[in-house]
């Protein structure tokens, strides 16, 4: 293969690896809203809004 073909393959592999790392990081850092069924209210029930 020509040298430029190896260069294209190397660049493609690097782009894929960086993309995969960023995707994993985005998934690890993604937030949510978690309901905690063990936690009891620490106040009397009643309207709060």
Partner 1 sequence: MRLMRASEIIKRPVVTMRGDDIAQVKDIIYAAHGGAVGGFTLAGRGIFAGPMKLGLSWHAVVALGADAVMISDESALEATSVVFDAAASGRGGGGDVLGSQVLTDSGVDLGIVIDVIIAASETVGGQCDVVGYEIEASEALGTKGTKLLIPLPDTLAASGEHLMVPASAKDFVSHDLAGFGAAVTAFRAQLEGAL
Does position 23 bind partner 1 by CB under 8 A? no
Phi, psi of 39 (to 5 degrees): -80, 130
22 binds partner 1 (CB under 8 A): yes
3-state SS class at 39: coil
19 is a site residue for partner 1 (CB under 8 A)? no
How many residues line the site for partner 1 (CB under 8 A)?
Answer: 23
Residue 29 in contact with partner 1, rule: CB under 8 A: yes
Q: Which residue ranges make up the site for partner 1 (CB under 8 A)?
A: 22, 25, 28-43, 45-49
């Amino acid at each position: 293969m020509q040298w430029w073909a190896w260069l294209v393959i190397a660049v493609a592999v690097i782009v894929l690896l960086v993309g995969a790392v960023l995707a994993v990081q985005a998934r690890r850092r993604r937030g949510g809203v978690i309901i905690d069924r063990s936690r009891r209210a620490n106040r009397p029930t009643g309207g709060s809004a």
